Amino acid sequence: MIYIRDVDDDVIETLKHRAAEARMSLSAYAAQQLTIAARRPSNADVMRRARDLAAARRDRGAVTPTTEEIAEAVRADRDRDGGAR
């Protein structure tokens, strides 16, 4: 069981409104949202995975473009399309 203290009234009202829209009790809605948040990887997990993938690519000899090369490719693509983006 979880008790959360010091939640602003406007936050509670927003959650109640969203729960009602979802035809759920506030408790069920809060549990659902907490479950979604807990299953989402943290920023640290995402960064760790990105570093691991980049290292694996380097180990296989893959070449990773530089920021400048990516920016130039985007500019070239926009120029080719007449700047319509």
Is the pLDDT reported for residue 80 higher than 90? Answer: no
Q: What is the pLDDT of residue 20?
A: 98
Q: Is residue 53 in some structural domain?
A: yes
Same domain flag for 17 and 47: no
- Domain containing residue 18: 9-39
Q: Is residue 3 in some structural domain?
A: no
What's the total number of domains in the chain?
2
pLDDT band at 14 (very low <50, low <70, confident <90, very high): very high
Is the pLDDT reported for residue 44 higher than 60? Answer: yes
pLDDT band at 57 (very low <50, low <70, confident <90, very high): confident
Same domain flag for 28 and 53: no
Mean residue pLDDT across the chain: 91
**Neighbour tally for 30: CB within 10 Å:** 18
Among all chains, which residue has been given the structure tokens 């693509």?
A: 77
Q: What is the pLDDT of residue 64?
A: 79
Average pLDDT over residues 9-37: 97
Same domain flag for 28 and 49: no
Residues in Cβ contact with 85 at an 8 Å cutoff, skipping those fewer than 6 apart: 78
Same domain flag for 48 and 70: yes
Same domain flag for 50 and 78: yes
